[in-house]
Amino acid sequence: WFLWQLDPHSSAYNIPGGLHLRGELDSTALRTSFQRLIERHESLRTRFYEQDGVALQRIDAPSEFHLDTLDISDLPSAERQARAVAIREQ
């Protein structure tokens, strides 16, 4: 919240990342893992906002975690790498 006050257009709270996974992906297990992590840690469900000049926080109730997947494993290696970079940069 403090950093947002200094620069509302900053991406300080949006830090993208990626993982390179090898082998078969069990998307159900991955989604369930994220779901449980979010349920367990309130800090991952906390939002900060301002009301009447005062910073407040709200902890959201756990909700369904959605995981979008795109299978590009059938592409040749170089094309797969280029596609992964393009997806990441969207």
pLDDT of residue 37: 97
pTM: 0.71
- Neighbouring-strand partners of residue 55: 50
Query: Concatenated DSSP letters for the chain?
Result: -HHHHH-TT--TT---------S---HHHHHHHHHHHHHH-GGGGEEEEEETTEEEEEEPPP----------TTS-HHHHHHHHHHHHT-
Instruction: Tell me the average confidence (pLDDT) per consecutive run of 10 residues in the chain, 90 residues long.
Output: 80 74 90 96 93 94 92 92 87
Would you say how long the chain is, in residues?
Answer: 90
pLDDT of residue 63: 94
